[in-house]
Amino acid sequence: MDADRDGCSTRNEALLEEAFLAPEQTAPCRLVEGEWYSAYDNTYISSPGGLDIDHMVPLAEAWDSGASTWTPAEREAYANNLGDERSLLAVSARSNRSKADQDSSQWLPPYAPYHCQYLTDWVATKMRCQFTVDDRERDTLTNATASCPNVPVDVTFVR
């Protein structure tokens, strides 16, 4: 989808935003080379083809947590949200595919030093979208964040 009609898909918009070495861009918004960091697995990637764009809270989990009551337009806006840097992340295809549609009680990034940031972003996304958290997920979040730094989390609610 190209929400702002500038010729770049949501995927490429996210890749452009997340690159720490800007990729070469050809018309119509085809990205060639560049440099990205996949925090999930502490990996540097130089080809856009090696990356997936991960929804912090996967679409199936979003559906199960409240998006099923949203309008189609609201669900589309969530799926293509470039307004919060925590929503869509450029990560290695391997790590994203291992996550699939699992919630934080079922999957954490393989790179353990990123767990606190991941869980903070997970909670912020759930709060921002007013998604529910089931008991198992709540217990995991409580236990897994016990040793994380106590930092404020900014959330702008969308609903």
Over its C-alpha atoms, the chain yields an Rg (Å, rounded) of 16
Report percent pLDDT > 90 for the chain.
79
Q: Residue 2: its pLDDT value, please?
A: 63
Out of 6-10, 26-30, 47-51, the most confident range is 47-51
Q: Residue 133: its pLDDT value, please?
A: 96
Instruction: Using pLDDT thresholds of 50, 70 and 90, give the confidence band for residue 5.
Output: low
Q: Say if 1 falls within a structural domain.
A: no
Q: CA 140 to CA 46: how far, in whole Å?
A: 34
Give the domain extent around 91. Answer: 10-144
**Percent of residues in the chain assigned helix, strand, coil, to nearest 5:** 40, 15, 45
Q: Say if 5 falls within a structural domain.
A: no
User: In the predicted model, is pLDDT for residue 84 greater than 70?
Assistant: yes
Q: Say if 159 falls within a structural domain.
A: no
User: In the predicted model, is pLDDT for residue 65 greater than 80?
Assistant: yes
Q: Say if 112 falls within a structural domain.
A: yes
Number of domains making up the chain: 1
